[in-house]
A and B are shown apart, each in its own frame.
Chain A
């Protein structure tokens, strides 16, 4: 069995990367959030229809085909509810012909509140919200919901409390659990992408910033930290790819694999963020340096759809078939 990505999957990712390089530079992440940079171009190439069945104008592909493209959206820190629109919406809107058609055509940005989520990410940038209420998903036009901005760590990925009139919501027939698993893997892929960007940026800085007559990257204390980040990323990425395959095939291990992916990707990205901040020194703290946009994104995404601790405890339950011991009375 060949686990390498196919030429098509690599080409999808490199196209997304080209689009984001041209249309989502750091300046667009910093100041262009509200106009959803690169979304029109990504809709044009068909990113938002990737997981939508072909009869609705989508490509009918699986998460494994999308995972590298999603990684690129994390690498670029693309603003907007990307993971939700690409990965969660097709599962939640299953059977809703009109909504799926609009989604595949790239006309609808979707954000969601499923699972244990309390807030809706980037609800103000979405056209349609899919909210679970009592375990049932409802589709609510964003214009018909009351959005209240919450204080959050990421100035770009904003969290909203959402209230809606029950009669303004349309019950939809999709599967919230399938959507939750997909969006969790999508976010894990974005974390891997963000971590790769942080590592590349830190290595670049360590190679040019000089102290004691040498680039700081020549010192072991710096080198080793960056090497640890590289190792963490290389260990996390295959777990994310594996989880995508497990979800596509609906394997019995899907829940376990999703948790392993999210925990590993979150830990790798948090390590990348912490190390990037350390390696950049005092300048890393400044609002003017683009680094902070990626740091904030990592902190925001690693808490989304279950933080590392939650997924580690799910993983423990799946492996040992026993609930985690209580560590406090």
Chain B
């Protein structure tokens, strides 16, 4: 089974994240880059499927040169090879443009199963899996907390507000996973040392037959018009209990429409 895991490098959630003032895109230099946490679950699930059913796991990432750190981590966990889609023309791509670029690349490299995290911690659109499936013409099995593959049949449990749905399809397919699905492994020292010997193929937009006018800031369908820093948290109101603390608490909750 040819499994492709899509991973994204995101700014460390533990640090303050910023937008650039010039083109209003994410300032990737303002924070350390880390692997998007949900994508680690995707890598783990891909590795488990490979261990159970055989095949090969390819890591696919789209991002600037420094995203190689993210590729290296996924390779150290045990993925077999990687494809790095990197081109200045892709800078500023929105979700639609990203899904187009990723789909073109996936068509080129081939796949039986595409696995990705259900959303990234920076953009948090959560739509890439659905868009990819549409563009690739494959079933989409999103928000999975369990994945079973049997031959070309695939079944997942999709997490819902009330429990889960069972969704079945046939390969090729696109799956997005949630964090409850597994416990990602730590890269072993052997894996870390082996990672640098694994093949990383870097593609530009021409290599993946991506039309330049459909990606990047210019090709984006959505635009950041303006942005402002989140206002500092206001100091709370302290109410002195003079025998009427209960009433005041109830009034406060009522004013916020809690009761």
Evaluate contact between B188 and A11: CB separation under 8 angstroms: no
Q: Which of A7, A18, A41, A45 contacts B189 (CB 8 A)?
A: A45
Q: What's the Cα separation between A109 and B251 when bound, in Å?
A: 62
Evaluate contact between B189 and A46: CB separation under 8 angstroms: yes
Evaluate contact between B186 and A11: CB separation under 8 angstroms: no
Per-position 1/0 for B108-131, Cβ under 8 A of A:
000000000000000000000000
* Residue from B72, B188, B192, B193 with most neighbouring chain A CB atoms (10 Å): B192
Per-position 1/0 for B214-237, Cβ under 8 A of A:
000000000000000000000000
B193-217 interface with A by 8 A CB criterion: 193, 196
Q: What's the Cα separation between A55 and B224 when bound, in Å?
A: 57
A1-28 interface with B by 8 A CB criterion: 7-8, 11-12, 15, 18-19
B126-156 interface with A by 8 A CB criterion: none
Q: Which size bracket describes the interface of A in this complex?
A: 10 to 19
Measured CB to CB, the closest approach of chain B to A76, in angstroms, equals 15
Evaluate contact between A15 and B186: CB separation under 8 angstroms: yes
Contacts of A46 in B (CB 8 A): 188-190
- Contact of B33 with A by CB under 8 A: no
B48-100 interface with A by 8 A CB criterion: 72, 76
- Contact of A44 with B by CB under 8 A: yes
Evaluate contact between B192 and A8: CB separation under 8 angstroms: yes
- Contact of A272 with B by CB under 8 A: no
Q: What's the Cα separation between A11 and B35 when bound, in Å?
A: 14
Q: Which of B72, B192, B196 contacts A12 (CB 8 A)?
A: B192
Measured CB to CB, the closest approach of chain A to B15, in angstroms, equals 16
Measured CB to CB, the closest approach of chain B to A292, in angstroms, equals 27
Q: What's the Cα separation between A47 and B189 when bound, in Å?
A: 7
Q: What's the Cα separation between A196 and B190 when bound, in Å?
A: 28
CB nearest to A18 among chain B residues: B186
Evaluate contact between B72 and A45: CB separation under 8 angstroms: no
Contacts of B72 in A (CB 8 A): 7, 11
Q: What's the Cα separation between A50 and B187 when bound, in Å?
A: 14
A32-58 interface with B by 8 A CB criterion: 41, 44-47, 49-50
Evaluate contact between B193 and A8: CB separation under 8 angstroms: yes
Q: Which of A7, A18, A19, A59 contacts B190 (CB 8 A)?
A: A59
Q: What's the Cα separation between A33 and B190 when bound, in Å?
A: 28
Evaluate contact between A45 and B186: CB separation under 8 angstroms: yes
Contacts of A7 in B (CB 8 A): 72, 196
Q: Which of A8, A18, A45 contacts B188 (CB 8 A)?
A: A45
CB nearest to A42 among chain B residues: B186
Contacts of B188 in A (CB 8 A): 44-46
Contacts of A12 in B (CB 8 A): 189, 192
A15-B186, A15-B189 given; name 12 further pairs at CB < 8 Å: A8-B193, A11-B72, A15-B187, A15-B192, A19-B186, A41-B186, A45-B187, A45-B188, A46-B188, A46-B189, A46-B190, A47-B189
Closest 4 CB pairs of A and B: A46-B189, A45-B188, A11-B192, A46-B188
24 residue pairs A–B, Cβ–Cβ below 8 Å? A8-B192, A8-B193, A8-B196, A11-B76, A11-B187, A11-B192, A12-B189, A15-B186, A15-B187, A15-B189, A15-B192, A41-B186, A44-B186, A44-B188, A45-B186, A45-B187, A45-B188, A45-B189, A46-B189, A46-B190, A47-B189, A49-B189, A59-B190, A59-B193
